[in-house]
């Protein structure tokens, strides 16, 4: 049994991770400032004696005793990370420094939840880990993208300079139950709009693509990476290579919900990446991991969750 710190543990992915780690018999210290996370996400874990919730902002130092750290604290949806962009960069950069300082003092392993956004609006398709990315440093997405890029730099410098045992994971768009209904991300937006009979908001012409990973697959990849062989640091892509346009996604959501919602075309936000698909050869080779849940099955489960959540 290990005592494991999960920063951002009350968020969408963090809450699933806390649950998984408890199921494996560990103690979990969930650290979250509840900016985008919600206590209700971990409400069902509160009675577990091996679970502890600590309201804390990772931009401040934290002195606790743990055996492992998963660093997930950071808003992930554009509307949330653009709400207070300076705080977003601080969370990624200063948050990483504090979590790495903690890992260094305790001589423990630490995993960083990085993102496919480090590739920006990619000129190479699909994206292998060796692609260095194309990010507009002064655009409205940069607070997130550059914060995450700098966090990766800090992870590798703490590894080289202080021998910290690191694992870096580049997460591609993930969806599933416990996404906030008003999170603003495309999957939750389309499902909520379809269920309420509202117009489906397509940004731009809807021909931009994303590759969507179901949350259970993602958590399995994250767990395997944390427990991978010593010396394997990543970065490693974790995502589902199935690539869809936003129009295709809207069609699928309309078909599964049976909704009569109409499509409404709105302007494309600045710097919105046109395409995104992971190369997952490294995850297959090092972690024996590949996604199992394809989009239709994952959407069906997610739609059932949202129906229940809003009823």
Catalytic residues: 144
CA distance 106 to 66: 8
Helix 215-226 with 12-23: angle, nearest 10 deg: 60
Is the distance from CB of 120 to CB of 135 less than 8 angstroms? yes
- Choosing from 173, 237, 240, 302, the residue that interacts with ligand UDP (CB under 6 A) is 173
Per CB under 6 A, does 62 bind ligand UDP?
yes
**Helix axes of 186-196 and 246-257: crossing angle, nearest 10 degrees:** 40
Q: Which is nearer to ligand UDP, 28 or 58 (CB)?
A: 58
Q: Which does 233 bind (CB under 5 to 8 A by kind): ligand NAD, ligand UDP, none?
A: none
Indicate which single residue of 4, 5, 6, 8 sits in contact with ligand NAD (rule: CB under 6 A): 8
* Structure token pair of residue 193: 């709009």
Give the burial class of 79: count Cβ atoms within 10 A of its Cβ; 0-12 exposed, 13-18 middle, 19 or more buried: middle
CA dihedral 285, 229, 290, 68 (to 10 degrees): -160
Q: Is the peptide bond before 235 cis (omega within 30 degrees of 0)?
A: yes
Of residues 37, 78, 126, 221, which one binds ligand NAD by CB under 6 A? 37
The answer to whether 91 contacts ligand NAD (rule: CB under 6 A) is yes
Selected binder of ligand NAD within 18, 51, 66, 75 (CB under 6 A): 75
Minimum distance from residue 290 beta carbon to ligand UDP (Å): 21
Site string for ligand NAD, 157-186 (x = CB under 6 A): --------------x-xx------------
Task: Report yes or no: 4 and 29 within 8 Å, Cβ to Cβ.
Answer: yes
Q: Which residue has the tokens 């001589």?
A: 107
Sites for ligand UDP among residues 68-87 (CB under 6 A)? 77-78
Query: Can you tell me which of 203, 245, 252, 286 binds ligand UDP, judged by CB under 6 A?
Result: 203
Dihedral sign of CA atoms 260, 264, 270, 273 in order: positive
Q: Which of residues 108-147 bind ligand NAD (CB under 6 A)?
A: 113, 115
C-alpha atoms less than 13 angstroms from C-alpha of 150 in its C-beta half-sphere: 17
Out of ligand UDP, ligand NAD, none, what residue 37 binds, judged by CB under 5 to 8 A for its kind, is ligand NAD
Using the rule CB under 6 A, is 234 a contact of ligand NAD?
no
Binding site for ligand UDP (CB under 6 A): 61-63, 77-78, 97-98, 101-102, 104-105, 173, 185-186, 189, 201-203, 208, 210, 246, 269, 272
């Amino acid at each position: 049994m290990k005592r494991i710190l999960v920063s951002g543990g009350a968020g969408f992915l963090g809450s699933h991770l806390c649950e998984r780690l408890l199921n494996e018999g560990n103690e979990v210290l969930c650290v979250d400032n509840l900016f985008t996370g919600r206590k209700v996400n971990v409400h069902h874990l509160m009675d577990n004696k091996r679970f502890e919730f600590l309201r804390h902002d990772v931009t401040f130092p934290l002195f606790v005793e743990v055996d492992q750290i998963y660093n997930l604290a950071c808003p992930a949806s554009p509307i949330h990370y653009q709400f207070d962009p300076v705080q977003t960069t601080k969370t990624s950069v200063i948050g990483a420094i504090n979590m790495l300082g903690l890992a260094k003092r305790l001589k423990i392993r630490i995993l960083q939840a990085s993102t496919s956004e480090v590739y920006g609006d990619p000129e190479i398709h699909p994206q292998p880990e060796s692609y260095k990315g194309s990010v507009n440093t002064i655009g409205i997405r940069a607070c997130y993208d550059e914060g995450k890029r700098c966090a990766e730099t800090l992870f590798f410098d703490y590894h080289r300079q202080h021998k910290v045992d690191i694992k870096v994971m580049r997460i591609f768009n993930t969806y599933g139950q416990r996404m906030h209904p008003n999170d603003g991300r495309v999957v939750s937006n389309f499902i909520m709009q379809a269920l309420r009979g509202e117009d489906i908001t397509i940004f731009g012409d809807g021909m931009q693509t994303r590759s969507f990973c179901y949350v259970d697959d993602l958590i399995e990849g994250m767990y395997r990476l944390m427990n991978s062989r010593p010396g394997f640091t990543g970065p490693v892509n974790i995502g589902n290579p199935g690539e869809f346009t936003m129009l295709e996604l809207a069609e699928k959501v309309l078909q599964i919900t049976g909704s009569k919602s109409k499509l409404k075309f709105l302007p494309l936000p600045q710097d919105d990446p046109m395409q995104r698909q992971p190369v997952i050869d490294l995850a297959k080779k090092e972690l024996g991991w590949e996604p199992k849940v394809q989009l239709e099955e994952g959407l069906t489960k997610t739609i059932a969750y949202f129906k229940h959540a809003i009823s």
